[in-house]
């Protein structure tokens, strides 16, 4: 069973900024990045507990080929995943939970 997926506005902004940055570096790279994010989101939607909760209820999934974590919470009562952050791994790790 797939869970519904909700992306917070802050996470959507992070995703948009990263996508633009990759596309500026090389044409088509932004699309490859977006595909990697979508694949990971689909995987999370199918099995949200595959990635353990690292900090309270926050789960973290590392993307393939790109240094980004998808930080999310699971609401079991409504079968919904909320993406809190699309977080570059070089940033201060303490800030990924401050959304």
pLDDT in tens, 1-55: 789 999 999 999 999 999 999 999 999 999 999 999 999 999 999 999 999 887 7
DSSP 52: P
- List of residues 6+ apart from 54 with CB closer than 8 A: 60
Give the chain's domain count. 1
Give me the mean pLDDT over the 64-68 stretch: 95
Q: Are 43 and 62 in contact (CB under 8 A)?
A: no
pLDDT score recorded for residue 91: 66
Q: Which domain holds residue 63?
A: 4-97
Indicate if the pLDDT at residue 94 is higher than 60.
Answer: no
Indicate if the pLDDT at residue 92 is higher than 70.
Answer: no
pTM: 0.88
| CATH (domain of 44) | 3.30.2310.20
Measured distance CA(96)–CA(86) in Å, rounded: 9
């Amino acid at each position: 069973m797939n869970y519904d997926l909700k992306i917070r506005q802050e996470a959507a902004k992070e995703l948009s900024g990263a996508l633009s940055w990759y596309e500026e570096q090389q044409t088509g790279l932004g699309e490859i990045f977006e595909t990697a994010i979508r694949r990971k989101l689909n995987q999370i939607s199918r099995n949200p507990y595959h990635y353990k909760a690292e900090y309270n209820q926050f789960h973290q999934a590392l993307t393939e080929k790109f240094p980004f974590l998808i930080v999310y919470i699971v609401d079991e009562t409504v079968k919904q995943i909320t993406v809190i952050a699309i977080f570059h791994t070089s940033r201060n790790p303490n800030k990924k939970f401050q959304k």
